[in-house]
Amino acid sequence: MRTAIAGLGTVGAEVVRQLLDKDELYAQRAERPITVTDVSARDRKRDRGFPMRDIRFWKDPVKMAREAKVDLVVELIGGADGVAKRVVEAAIAAGKHVVTANKALLARHGMQLARAAEERGVTLAFEAAVAGSIPAVEILRQALVANIFSRVGGILNGTCNYILWRMSAMGCTFDQSLAEAQEAGYAEADPSRDISGKDTADKLAILAALAFGVPVDLSSIHVEGIEQITALDIQRARELGMGVKLLGIARLTEQGLERWVHPCLVPADAVLAMVPGATNAVSVTGDLVETQVYLGQGAGAKSTTSAVIADILDLATGRRLPAFGKLAAQLRAVPVLVPRDRTGEYYLRLQVADQPRVLGDVLSLLGMQGVSVASNEQPEQQVDPDGTVAVFLTTHRTQEAAVQRALTMIRALPTVKGEPCLIRIEREV
């Protein structure tokens, strides 16, 4: 299995090292040798911990994908467009199998690439694109294929989970927890794609396609990040017997398919609530297996390398399936549900003027929209310099559309300052 590697960053270099160091083991498992014959990177001279003398170096990865005499191209450059996309397209057009860890590329161009691979009779494999060391693609596409799935998702971003975990476990602020995540290598220098929920949405788009046989559709996913979460929310959640997690969930109902990414309050004794640090968790609900949760490292060179090499070994042994479990033409769109269609419980935090009757006005507006309040609290606390205090409320099960209508009126109250914080409560996770 002659293999070319495009991109020799942390993961790319580790993939090459593992393939060289374990060549005999992998040859036994694949029943054929797997040989790295070509690589491409920006800097040829950089020491990456493996010998280059028997490997052909290409400055242009697209040219390598098109012209190298290989069976397989592994794309580890990253990015939704640009060079990474051209590498994959060139490899497929040249009749070569592709392995990639590029979730952003797949979330935006997965259907186009899957159709191209089918037309050329090659395989597009991407186990490493979702949840790192957790074999989420294998689970949905093969291990649990006997099931009809009703729900898939979970904790799909280690950076966000680390931040919320530190805020809960150590009482750190959001900024302190983010700085720690960056220092520990769990967050990028620019963490915006992580904390905004966009990275989780990329992964959820892929999981939903695999679980429900629908096209990859990033545009239909409602996305909220964790930027608004404060230490006050973490503390209040704990008092309610709950924790705060950023979840990506796709749920198939009789009315249609929900796909959303946003912070949730979850029961403290739920498996997902107890997932620590930068760990990922994939939750799958099927008619035969009920709900199963898989935990593992979602990022890092070794966990990603493990998933990449698993794909390489599958291809070497002849295990080849359509990218999303079905041929692209067989993927069928279903009605899309938006958050306003949701019925559930809600947590609200408002910053209000420290004046009489303010809470009564808020409760009145919620009542006008048929929103029943389960609890409300205006705890004894120091008044902020601007003369405001925090108010916390939870609702009984109600329609989100009603909550949003009430919030529109609440925002207009002169005694309500700043943007209200709404967090959905998910008890079945």
Question: Residue 5 in contact with residue 39, Cβ under 8 Å?
Answer: yes
Beta bridge partners of 292: 284
What CA–CA distance (Å, rounded) separates 391 from 389?
7
Extract the residue ranges of the chain whose pLDDT is less than 50: none
CA distances from 178 to 170, 175, 246, 425 (A): 13, 5, 14, 24
Report if residue 217 sits inside a domain: yes
Report if residue 306 sits inside a domain: no
pLDDT at 298: 78
- Among the listed residues 85, 96, 103, 203, the single catalytic one is 203
Is 258 in the same domain as 153?
A: yes
Pairing of strands 149-155, 373-377: unpaired
Question: Residue 415 in contact with residue 365, Cβ under 8 Å?
Answer: no
Is 274 in the same domain as 149?
A: yes
Is 142 in the same domain as 287?
A: yes
Q: Which amino acid is at 150?
A: S
Report if residue 155 sits inside a domain: yes
Is 64 in the same domain as 144?
A: no
pLDDT at 234: 95
Sign of CA dihedral 132, 135, 141, 145: negative
Q: State the virtual CA torsion across 192, 197, 202, 208 in degrees, nearest 10.
A: 180
Please report which residue ranges of 94-230 form alpha helices under DSSP H. 103-120, 136-138, 158-170, 174-183, 192-195, 198-212
Q: Which of 244, 279, 283 is nearest to 263 (CA)?
A: 244
Report if residue 203 sits inside a domain: yes
What CA–CA distance (Å, rounded) separates 234 from 294?
25
* Structural domains of the chain, count: 3
Q: What is the largest CA-CA distance in the chain?
A: 79
What CA–CA distance (Å, rounded) separates 36 from 23?
10
The domain boundary, picked from 129, 159, 193, lies at 129
pLDDT at 356: 86
Residue listed under structure tokens 């967050």? 187
Q: Which domain holds residue 168?
A: 136-295
Beta bridge partners of 285: 151, 291
Is 222 in the same domain as 148?
A: yes
**What CATH number is attached to the domain comprising 173?**
3.30.360.10
**What CATH number is attached to the domain comprising 403?**
3.30.70.260
pLDDT at 386: 83
Residue listed under structure tokens 């108010």? 391
The domain boundary, picked from 114, 129, 144, lies at 129
pLDDT at 151: 97
Burial of 334-353, coded b for 16+ CB within 10 Å and e otherwise, reads eebbebeebebbbbbbbbbb
Is 156 in the same domain as 273?
A: yes
- What secondary structure letter does DSSP report for 351? E
Q: Which of 421, 397, 420, 68 is nearest to 244 (CA)?
A: 421
Helix, strand, coil percent values for the chain (each to nearest 5): 40, 25, 35
Q: Which of 427, 415, 337 is nearest to 374 (CA)?
A: 427
Sign of CA dihedral 99, 105, 107, 113: negative
Is 8 in the same domain as 105?
A: yes
Is 287 in the same domain as 350?
A: no
Is 246 in the same domain as 349?
A: no
The domain boundary, picked from 261, 295, 329, lies at 295
Q: Which amino acid is at 45?
A: K
What CA–CA distance (Å, rounded) separates 106 from 109?
5
First to last CA, the chain: 42
Question: Residue 131 in contact with residue 102, Cβ under 8 Å?
Answer: no
Is 85 in the same domain as 181?
A: no
pLDDT at 186: 83
> CA geometry: angle at 114 spanning 108 and 115, to 5°?
110
Residue 203 known to be catalytic: yes
Is 223 in the same domain as 248?
A: yes
Is 287 in the same domain as 140?
A: yes
pLDDT at 377: 84
